[in-house]
Structure 1
């Protein structure tokens, strides 16, 4: 199939993009890297009358350290997430996840903001934004607001972004020396959507876990925090006994989708395996 005919508009400022959307309403769609939207257009799963190409809005680019936060522009490409030294140092779970995202051709065009706002439940970047307690900067004609990642992902492909609004930046609290982290996923082949994926960010005080965020993807309609596993680990030294305790309760928070090839029980098993593997990695600092 081919996409239906549409009008193409290329604004150069955020204000111009917002104004264009306001003029056309729900008949318009924003496009940046297009790695999710273009296939949907080709299959006519989406058929907007107007495409607003924001890829040339320079204010949506840039990576900047702002005090205790790293601000990452929404148009930062996946390949830049892999190579930027500020992201590697201050938002390492994005860096760890980036090589697992699809394939090089997609990483060269896809954008971080596009991935997060698309909110595919099997995608790496939305889950890592949640794991790192990121805040999403959203702008509209009425002003700008920052939404914590815990409140951003609402349901399957649904986020706190309202029609016409734009995700302009991702703000990530910088990691500290007391933090340890790990990422991995299990997929049939490298670049395929993960059967189960996981990111962990833990803060230690005197060898004890003071705080921990455990976020899975591929096991629900949104990225999923395993709060029961977090509770099982908080206030404890990370040892094999603690890992087993976390594995025992992790399934209480997960609702894997029905799938003939990968039943929910298998995903739950893989989630426990992955949790044990990653906690083992951060048991001792490198």
Structure 2
């Protein structure tokens, strides 16, 4: 299932403390908010803008979509078992929306699909899929526990078993070093994501990338990109990284797309704007709007160019 990113700003330490973890559990909650319109978007917006209490969760799911608010390898304040409790420090937390104008059973099915994906990704066994009740005794997820909406916890576990390959937890991987002077491609980070010391999310955390940051790639393992030494980034099927070029093709590409001879800026449109948007990872509309300008400014900043959001000859040459 496609997971939409709408993350809590890293600056909001009250609800996104930024403490790293290796997830060993997945905890299922319900929002307990039956108000009309209290869907995944509403709860994601609540987290994004700043919750009124020190409570947070990784994801909210309704009958239409799953929206992620916190990276899966950071803790959330969701279990209620304290700062050092395993519920908070070792679990991914998912909220199922119960809004009156939503389809609760479809939301549960969507949640099971997300959970299956996370079980495989983080090698979490089905025995470690637990209710919020597991950590504190709270009656949550209330409707799954009672079955009063026509689907109960046993039904949910059956959904997981039906299409889940049984996995066993593994220990974090040792660092994988790559010593090479050969750059096989260049990529740009589309989102804030993590660099690991081996091509797995269970390996040691190095640091976060910044959106727009550019990396030379020296090796690949699956969709993991080695960006020097023991530093690896997960491309996540094109969601985290945008391919820029490879050094061998750059000169040929620049020759084939010469600078058009005029400034390209806010209000411009046409084929050259499309080319810029495709290279910078902006939705290719063909119209130079505020998002394209912001991407150009970030690119200029990363490449030591004059930061004005306008594509002149120097910026064009750097992009292509």
Of structures 1 and 2, the one with the larger relative CO (CA 8 A, separation 6+) is: 1
Q: Say whether the fold is shared (TM-score over 0.5).
A: no
Q: Which bin holds the TM-score, normalised by the shorter protein? A: under 0.3
Larger Cα-atom Rg: 2
- TM-score relative to the length of structure 2: 0.24
The two structures have a TM-score, normalised by structure 1, of 0.26
Higher normalized strand content (fraction of residues): 1
Higher helix share goes to which structure? 1
